A and B are shown apart, each in its own frame.
Chain A
Amino acid sequence: MVASAQNKEAGSAAVSEGVVQGRPIKVVAILCNWCSYAGADGAGTARLSQPHDFRIVRVPCTGRVDPLLVFKAFEKGADGVLISGCHPGDCHYSEGNYYARRKFELLRRMVPHLGIEPERFHYTWVSASEAARWQEVVTTFVTGVAELGPREGRAL
């Protein structure tokens, strides 16, 4: 308890010194190669404007995503982590996103226990033909994280 209180103090001290305050937010978006990455490509081809503050990491399948990667991202200073894959039933590898969904659902419930606002983690499904949906998903998520602002402190 004492330690966490100190951490909190250290965090707010950092804010007051302007270390994190005012910096742009950083969102990591982990996308599966076959659906959501292609959907984001489609959004690009259609010139659908999107917020700047997210970076895409391509994985073959959301089934490849170990939840520890998400923690790692938060540990390294991510203000938000978005994961998107093929719609359930449409996985390029038949069932990768079913395994992913189980993990991400538990992860979603666990995130607040780590002192991270639930709005900073989101998982969803965007198909290769849903360019407009990708624009909506990424805009809503990044805007939501921007409203929360940068995360204070670096610890999980």
Chain B
Amino acid sequence: MRIGVFICHCGTNIAGTVDSRAVAERAAELKDVVHSEDLIYTCAEPGQAAIQRAIKELGLTRVVVAACSPHMHEVTFRRCVEDAGLNPWLFEMANIREHCSWIHADDMQKATDKAYEIVKMAVAKVRMAEPLFSEEVDVNKDVLVIGGGVAGIQTALDLADAGLRVTIVERQSTIGGIMAQLDKTFPTIDCSACILTPRMVDAAHHENITIMAYSEIDRVAGYVGNFKVDIRRKAAMVDWTKCIGCELCMQRCPSRAPDVFNSGLAETKAIYIPFPQAVPKRAVIQTDYCRWFQQGKCRVCERVCPAGAIDYEQKDEIVQRDFGAVVVATGLDVFPWEDHYPQYGGGEIPDVISGLQYERMLNASGPTGGHVHRLSNHEEPKTVVFIQCVGSRDESVGRPYCSSVCCMYTAKQAILTKSHCGMDTEVYVFYIDIRATGKGYEEFVKRAQTEFGVKYVRGRVSKLYEEEGKVIVRGVDTLLGNQVEVPADLVVMASGIVCAEGAPSLAQSLNISYDEFGFFKESHPKLRPVETNTAGVFLAGACQSPKDIPTSVAQASGTAAKVLVLLAKDKLKTSPQIATVDQSRCVSCWKCIDVCPFSAPEKQELRDGSVKSHVIETVCQGCGICVATCPVNCISLKGFTTDSLIDQIEEALLT
């Protein structure tokens, strides 16, 4: 066995704390190590060339690179050694950057000793390595897009235009998402619906796109290239194959229900279509509010429906579909400020509303027909105050992050206030900092301040209370060092962004990671920003982090490109790090079959008539649960054998 060891400096990232040369010198003394050197940047072209040269000239049969995390460059180096003729699985990485130099900047000697020991463990592991070979599996080229907001629509259209069949699953009864609720978009002030609704129609008419609205993901099984997904078509109590979207039922329905699309500013009917441009335009009965379901009488909708579409007996239906890739584009919800800011009235003051409510109020097809008025007396406001960072950058409500869109939508709403209510309307914005980093954004905020005369006050608002028909906004102007009180007619919260309801449980069904706020975690923030750590599952839009429309759309197209890269191949190579059964020792207890989350082990009849466990190579995902479960230790996980783990532990403990 001829092992080569390469210790990276990573510029000063490693060498600033770890004496890489000393580590290389000490590693040269290890058993079976025939070559050991230090390189400035191992991952760069000269570094990789040095490894390949050493493999060829010195006949190395195993390689260890001590550098960054294997999550960063393991794939790079496996490819590198493979190109030099070595089996890629005879390579091992020692993580001396993230797990050593970067966390032990205080003591170079100790860090160097530790780096050496980490290298020693990797050498012990690579000594046990065996050449492994991948299998190939067929790839299903259909794509599932979860979420039909602007990001999901963009990804779906891009993929469908490229010739792939796409299914959009949307839990509301129409696609469109939050963008459909918006009046105008910053910084151009174009009409949100005018941009979005044609795209919605494009998606609906595209021959390669199937929209499954009012549906949710029930269960996801399988793996990259071969996902099996159970989709729950929720009971709409309306047969959508018959419904023609004429709204007659909605006009005649006697039961009222809160209008979620209008952010609770108005009422709708128990049977409803969220907005006139809905896609698909189909009615849904909200059974909680329906007189028939609650009191057992009515059936008005059934009588008036010209298509005979009403079906009170309808049940949820589970539809099974197979996909090769999944794009998650579940978007965002608005921070429920009422539950967290008692000092702002906690939703009890009628003239204090959320940014999204104001958006509906500004909208010509909204509940007020685009007329801005106070909810208390329906008069046009003379003084409007916007409060920024409500549920953003506020650790006291558990939201330390910036929601990234509120500065801009506030500037937009401030400008629109002036154009709706007249330039003589007093408009104040209380802010912490203005974050206007997009193209044309800073100029837009400047326009609000100079051209429209919006008064920006730097400081937090401490309290809102009602007095003599006004909402008193009490805060501080930190630039002047003054207490400020503004008697306002209307106060608008620039409510922050939170993850969509149910995001963590969706992440759990997809086996992807999410952060403490429920935003899904990308595979690498810079190098793999739309991939997740689960192969074949991708992210688009605000489900990953708060984003505005341009960024969501840009990311969504990037996601489509990444999906195309994956599905451009007819067959996928599977990881060879999988479980294998030593059938001569298998006692046929089937515990492996019980525990495997992927149904990889199967019963196999051998020639002597005995039935033993056998792991299907292309199904196994290499978790090793069966290995730790097998009572006779007859299952081994390639790449993570028990012996190799014990050897590493031993090396870690030898001084």
Contacts and interface: CB of A to CB of B under 8 A. Distances in A.
B511 A94 contact: yes
Contacts of B71: 37-38, 41
Nearest to A35: B513
Given A57-B652, A73-B649, A73-B653, A96 B625 contact: yes
B103 A43 contact: yes
B102 to A, nearest CB: 4
Interface in B73-115: 95, 97-100, 102-107, 110-111, 114
Contact of A66 (B103, B515, B628): B628
A144 interface: no
Interface stretch (B168-176, B195-203, B205-213, B638-646): B638-646
Interface string B495-525: 0000000000001100101111000010000
B105 to A, nearest CB: 7
A35 B515 CA distance: 11
Contacts, number: 147
B98 A40 contact: yes
Nearest to B651: A55
* Residue from B121, B622, B625, B655 whose CB has the most chain A CB atoms within 10 Å: B625
Given A69-B642, A72-B649, A90-B513, A44 B69 contact: yes
Q: Could you say which of A56, A58, A96, A99 has the most chain B C-beta atoms within 10 Å of its C-beta?
A: A58
A76 interface: yes
Nearest to B507: A90
A50 B117 CA distance: 17
Contacts of B627: 64, 66
A109 interface: no
Nearest to A89: B508
B653 A44 contact: no
Contact of B99 (A44, A49, A94, A129): A44
Contacts of B637: 60, 64
Nearest to A67: B628
B649 A76 contact: yes
B287 interface: no
Contacts of A66: 627-628, 642
B462 interface: no
Given A60-B637, A69-B649, A76-B650, A91 B107 contact: no
A40 B96 CA distance: 12
Contacts of B623: 60-61, 63-64, 92-93, 96
A113 interface: no
A93 B511 contact: yes
B449 to A, nearest CB: 37
Contact of B102 (A45, A73, A90): A45
Contacts of A48: 103
B274 to A, nearest CB: 32
B574 to A, nearest CB: 14
Contacts of B521: 128-129
Nearest to A52: B110
A55 B646 contact: no
B534 interface: yes
Contacts of B649: 28, 57, 69, 72-73, 76, 78
B383 interface: no
B104 A49 contact: yes
B533 A57 contact: no
Nearest to B624: A64
Given A60-B640, A99-B595, A47 B69 contact: no
B374 to A, nearest CB: 43
Contacts of B121: 55, 57
Contact of A94 (B597, B645, B646): B597
Contact of A23 (B95, B107, B655): B655
A56 B343 CA distance: 48
Contact of B103 (A44, A64, A73): A44
Contacts of B70: 58
B534 A44 contact: no
Contact of A44 (B102, B508, B629, B645): B102
A58 B124 CA distance: 13
Contacts of A96: 597, 623-625
B621 interface: yes
Contacts of B533: 34, 38, 92, 128
A146 to B, nearest CB: 14
B110 to A, nearest CB: 5
B499 to A, nearest CB: 13
B577 A60 contact: yes
A95 interface: yes
B118 interface: yes
Interface in A108-156: 127-130
Nearest to A23: B655
A127 B646 CA distance: 25
A55 B648 CA distance: 10
A82 interface: no
A59 B655 CA distance: 23
A59 B645 contact: yes
Given A28-B652, A61-B623, A63-B628, A47 B103 contact: yes
A69 B103 CA distance: 27
B628 A49 contact: no
B98 to A, nearest CB: 3
A95 B653 contact: no
Contact of A56 (B95, B97, B516): B95
Given A50-B103, A55-B118, A60-B622, A72 B646 contact: yes
Interface string A71-112: 011001110000000100111111110011001000000000
A99 B628 contact: yes
B513, B577, B648: which has the most chain A beta carbons within 10 Å?
Answer: B513
Nearest to B515: A129
Nearest to A95: B597
Given A95-B597, A128-B533, A59 B653 contact: no
Contacts of A63: 595, 623-625, 628
Given A49-B104, A55-B114, A57-B652, 13 more contacts: A28-B652, A47-B102, A52-B104, A57-B645, A57-B649, A58-B70, A61-B625, A63-B624, A77-B653, A78-B649, A89-B508, A93-B623, A127-B515
Q: Which 9 A/B pairs are nearest by Cβ-Cβ distance?
A: A44-B98, A64-B624, A63-B625, A93-B623, A55-B652, A129-B515, A44-B102, A94-B597, A61-B623
24 contacts: A34-B513, A35-B513, A37-B69, A44-B102, A45-B102, A49-B103, A57-B652, A59-B640, A60-B622, A63-B595, A63-B623, A69-B646, A78-B652, A78-B653, A86-B513, A90-B508, A92-B511, A92-B623, A94-B597, A96-B625, A99-B628, A127-B515, A128-B521, A128-B533
Interface of A: 23, 26, 28, 34-35, 37-38, 40-41, 43-45, 47-50, 52, 55-61, 63-66, 69, 72-73, 76-78, 86, 89-96, 99-100, 103, 127-130
